Each structure stands twice: as structure tokens, then as C-alpha cells.
């Protein structure tokens, strides 16, 4: 039996050829495909600059550093996210803080964010997460963050190809300093592993470039000791300076070859995901027990996931039993997410998941059902039929 997973990538012959061409080109890393991929994504989302890195997590880490988040400061994010969004605070020695979600979207609530910022004057940055591909209310978040003097970094790991309510593409950074993306295989497009930061701020861009590669400047920025960089007026080809403590977070040309090839299909990927999401919406429209978790922004979401909310107590079945029954019928679902403050590591640092009642209520009911480009109508009908068998 072919298993139908909650998400998966799509690779075609053009992708394979692009990677083969890269392998034959001789440039495996630090070659021309990295800049080409960065420029293509920046142009797609409408941002001035983009820096490609080895993962979305690396993107979050260097974005937090570039935003000046560090010890004695705090960083607010959503409890309904992957742990990486909050871990970015811990990587830079800052204090993670959570603001509860809006039950209608499972995205961070601007009202809860305002209260959280009022209680935590040391917050230096806010990381809203465009959960499941649906953009957050960025104008509201930006205005709340501005009032608190906090920088906004958008976690758009789920949202490449999505738009904001005003029609601009997620990642253009109109209401943020930076946006991060992930190119893990279940995401909108894949590079195997990979990530990117977009920004419109040149200084931030330069800092991100350095942080990606050991904090080293090879002459893109003004040297601290320019006299060591030249001999008789000619640049010394070996010379570089380490300005700050950076990392090895570089992506390879092989990955960017795949990314460029995938980007050419992105709009098609998102359009099919949307079509499938609307089919699910229709199928569950009259159900009391199963409802789409996000009903707004259906035309603008990247539809990374299709999370539903299920009234398990009314249905008389537990989530664990339902997932087991689905798996026996070839359907693999997933839960996005266990609220981050519920993780043992966070609890041991004093967090209590009950402090975020909307996130807890969401977690108790949510299930991500299959949604990906290659999902056929027939496979989707099977998923719908099996769910209805248990939830009617
Ligand atoms: C919301 C969110 N942020 C960040 C990440 C981290 O991305 P990566 O896996 O590329 O490091 C993920 C990955 O799943 C994610 O879902």
C-alpha cells in the first residue's frame, strides 16, 4: 500500500538535470548558483536583499543576531510553532517569551502580543510565525512592535508563495526588518535542507553575509587594518579579517541549483495546494466534528499544511486512535504543534503551557491531514472518506 503522508516534496526531471549540471560545472559551493538563487527569491518576494543559508534554523539564528538580540534581552514568538522559532532566542543568550495565538488562525494574536510587550520591556525582537502558510496580521504586529521599540523578524518557514492581506508577497519585509524561509522537503520548495533571510536594509544584509561565514570580511566591507590589505597599492589576495563571531551556515551550489529549478514551479505548487485545500474546505463544510483550522485568507495562504480542528470528545475517539486507524488505511497525519512552552526543556526553564490557553486548546484539537503538490484528487477523496467514516 502506498502511504499518503501529511506532506512531501515534488522533484521532476528538470530538477535532476539542474543538479547534474551543477555537479558537472565544477562549482560545488561558493559558486554562482548561490547568488542567482538569492536574487531570484529576492525578486520573487519583492525584497532588496537575500542571504541563503544551510537551514531555516540557521536563518533564524543569524537574523536574531543581526537584529541585536542578545543577553539581557528577550524575544517574543508564538507558542504554536516549531521549536526553532523560540530556540533562536536561546542561541543568542536571550530570554524567549511567548504571546498566545488567535483561535481563528493559530497565528500570534496582536492583542496578546501588545499585553506581552507591556509586561516585558526588555523585548528586543518579535518573531511572528505565518503558521501553515497563512500570513499574520503584519500591520497590527508592526505597529505594536514599533511602540515597544522591538524589531520584527517574520518566520515564513511555511509561507514562501503566500501573500499578505494587502496582496504583497510574504518576505517583502514591508512590515519587518527581516523574513526567514526554510527549504526543508515538506516546505513550499526544497533544496534538501536550506534556508534564507530577506531584508531591505543594507547594513543588516552585510551583517547576515558575515555571520553566515565565520564573521569574515573579504573586502566587501571596509577593513579594520586597510594597510594590511594591500602591498604597493595592490590588494593582497589572501587577506581577510574576522570582524565578529560568525558560523559556517553556508548553503551549497548543488542545493541552490535545485532551489532555482524548484522556484520556477513555485506558483504551480501553491496553486495546486490551494485547489486541494478548497476541496477539503468544501468536504468538511457541513461537519460538526471536523473543521478547517484556518478559514480566512484561503486565496493568499501558501497552504503549507492543512490543519483541521477535531472535536475528539464529541466524536468519541481519541487523536491517537484516529491516527492509528488512518495509518492502517495508508494515511499518515501529523500534529503541528505541541506548544513550545510544553516542551520539557522549556518547562525546566519555568514555562507553563497553561499560560497560553488558546494554544493549549488548539493543540488538543489539531491534526494536519495530507496536503502536497502530488496528492491526487483520488487520494484526497480517500482521505476525506476515511475521516468521515470516523467523524460522523
Ligand atoms: C515555523 C518553522 N520555523 C523554523 C523552522 C526551521 O527550519 P529548518 O528545518 O529549515 O531549520 C521550521 C521547520 O520546520 C518551522 O516549521
Give pLDDT tens digits for 94-118.
999 999 999 999 999 999 999 999 9
Render pLDDT for 283-300 as a digit per residue (tens, 0 to 9).
999 999 999 999 999 999
Is the per-residue pLDDT at 172 higher than 90?
yes
Query: Is residue 143, in this structure, part of any structural domain at all?
Result: yes
Is the per-residue pLDDT at 9 higher than 90?
yes
Residue 314's CATH number: 3.90.1150.10
Residue 192's CATH number: 3.40.640.10
Residue to mutate, 56, 79, 80, ligand 1, most ligand atoms under 8 Å from C-beta = 56
Give residue 165's domain range. 13-263
Separation of CA 155 from chain center: 5
Render pLDDT for 345-380 as a digit per residue (tens, 0 to 9).
999 999 999 999 999 999 999 999 999 999 999 999
Residue to mutate, 157, 162, 247, ligand 1, most ligand atoms under 8 Å from C-beta = 157
85 Cα: distance to centroid of ligand 1 (angstroms): 7
Contacts for 376 with CB less than 8 Å, ≥ 6 apart: none
343 Cα: distance to centroid of ligand 1 (angstroms): 16
| Mean pLDDT in residue range 120-135 | 98
Ligand 1 neighbours, Cβ below 6 Å, are 55-57, 81-82, 84-85, 129, 155, 157-158, 182, 184, 195
- CA-based nearest residue to 106, from 347, 297, 377: 297
Instruction: Please say whether the beta carbons of 161 and 267 come within 8 A.
Output: yes
Domain final position from 263, 284, 309: 263
**Are both 151 and 34 inside the same structural domain?**
yes
157 Cα: distance to centroid of ligand 1 (angstroms): 5
- For the chain, the straight-line distance linking the first and the last C-alpha, in angstroms and rounded, comes to 26
Query: Is residue 126, in this structure, part of any structural domain at all?
Result: yes
pLDDT value, residue 155: 99
Number of domains in the chain: 2
Query: Is residue 7, in this structure, part of any structural domain at all?
Result: no
Confidence of residue 51 (pLDDT cuts 50, 70, 90): very high
DSSP state of 189: S
Render pLDDT for 195-233 as a digit per residue (tens, 0 to 9).
999 999 999 999 999 999 999 999 889 999 999 999 999
**Are both 274 and 249 inside the same structural domain?**
no
Is the per-residue pLDDT at 392 higher than 90?
no
Angle, alpha carbons 158-365-380 (nearest 5°): 60
CA 250 to CA 28: how far, in whole Å?
A: 12
Q: Give me the DSSP letters along 11-39.
A: --HHHHHHHHHHHHHS--BSSHHHHHHHH
Render pLDDT for 287-336 as a digit per residue (tens, 0 to 9).
999 999 999 999 999 999 999 999 999 999 999 999 999 999 999 999 99
Query: Is residue 116, in this structure, part of any structural domain at all?
Result: yes
Render pLDDT for 268-285 as a digit per residue (tens, 0 to 9).
999 999 999 999 999 999
Residues above pLDDT 70, as percent of the chain: 100
Q: What does the block give as the cell for 183?
A: 527549504
Query: Is residue 228, in this structure, part of any structural domain at all?
Result: yes
27 Cα: distance to centroid of ligand 1 (angstroms): 27
Q: What pTM, to 2 d.p., does this model score? A: 0.98
pLDDT value, residue 57: 98
Domain final position from 207, 236, 263: 263
Domain final position from 235, 263, 291: 263
Amino acid at each position: 500500500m502506498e502511504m499518503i503522508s501529511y506532506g512531501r516534496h515534488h522533484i521532476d526531471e528538470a530538477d535532476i538535470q539542474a543538479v547534474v549540471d551543477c555537479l558537472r560545472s565544477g562549482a560545488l559551493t561558493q559558486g554562482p548558483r548561490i547568488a542567482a538563487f538569492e536574487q531570484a527569491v529576492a525578486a520573487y518576494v519583492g525584497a532588496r536583499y537575500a542571504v541563503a543559508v544551510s537551514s531555516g534554523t540557521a536563518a533564524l539564528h543569524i537574523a536574531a543576531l543581526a537584529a541585536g538580540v542578545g543577553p539581557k534581552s528577550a524575544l517574543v514568538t508564538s507558542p504554536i510553532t516549531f521549536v526553532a522559532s523560540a530556540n533562536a532566542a536561546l542561541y543568542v543568550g536571550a530570554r524567549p517569551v511567548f504571546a498566545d495565538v488567535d483561535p481563528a488562525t493559530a497565528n500570534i494574536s496582536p492583542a496578546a502580543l501588545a499585553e506581552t510587550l507591556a509586561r516585558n520591556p526588555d523585548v528586543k525582537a518579535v518573531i511572528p510565525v505565518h503558521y501553515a502558510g497563512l500570513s499574520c496580521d503584519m500591520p497590527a504586529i508592526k505597529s505594536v512592535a514599533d511602540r515597544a521599540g522591538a524589531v520584527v523578524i517574520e518566520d515564513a518557514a511555511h509561507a514562501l508563495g503566500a501573500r499578505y492581506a494587502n496582496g504583497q508577497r510574504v518576505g517583502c519585509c514591508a512590515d519587518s526588518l527581516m523574513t526567514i524561509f526554510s527549504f526543508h522537503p515538506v516546505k513550499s520548495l526544497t533544496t534538501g535542507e536550506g534556508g534564507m533571510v530577506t531584508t531591505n536594509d543594507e547594513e543588516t544584509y552585510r551583517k547576515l553575509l558575515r555571520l553566515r561565514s565565520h564573521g569574515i570580511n573579504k573586502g566587501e566591507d571596509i577593513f579594520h587594518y586597510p594597510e594590511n590589505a594591500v602591498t604597493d597599492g595592490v590588494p593582497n589576495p589572501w587577506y581577510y579579517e574576522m570582524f565578529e563571531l560568525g558560523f559556517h551556515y553556508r548553503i551549497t551550489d548543488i542545493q541552490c541549483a535545485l532551489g532555482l529549478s524548484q522556484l520556477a514551479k513555485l506558483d504551480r505548487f501553491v496553486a495546486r495546494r490551494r485547489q486541494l485545500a478548497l476541496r477539503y474546505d468544501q468536504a468538511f463544510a457541513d461537519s460538526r466534528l471536523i473543521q478547517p483550522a484556518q478559514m480566512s485568507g484561503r486565496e493568499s495562504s501558501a497552504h503549507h499544511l492543512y490543519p483541521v480542528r477535531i472535536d475528539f470528545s464529541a466524536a468519541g475517539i481519541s487523536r491517537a486512535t484516529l491516527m492509528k486507524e488512518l495509518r492502517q488505511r495508508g494515511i499518515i497525519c501529523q500534529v503541528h504543534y505541541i506548544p513550545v512552552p510544553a516542551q520539557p526543556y522549556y518547562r525546566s526553564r519555568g514555562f507553563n503551557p497553561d499560560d497560553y490557553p488558546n494554544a493549549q486548546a488548539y493543540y488538543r484539537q489539531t491534526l494536519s491531514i495530507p496536503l502536497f503538490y502530488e496528492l491526487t484528487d483520488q487520494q484526497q477523496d480517500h482521505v476525506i472518506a476515511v475521516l468521515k467514516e470516523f467523524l460522523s
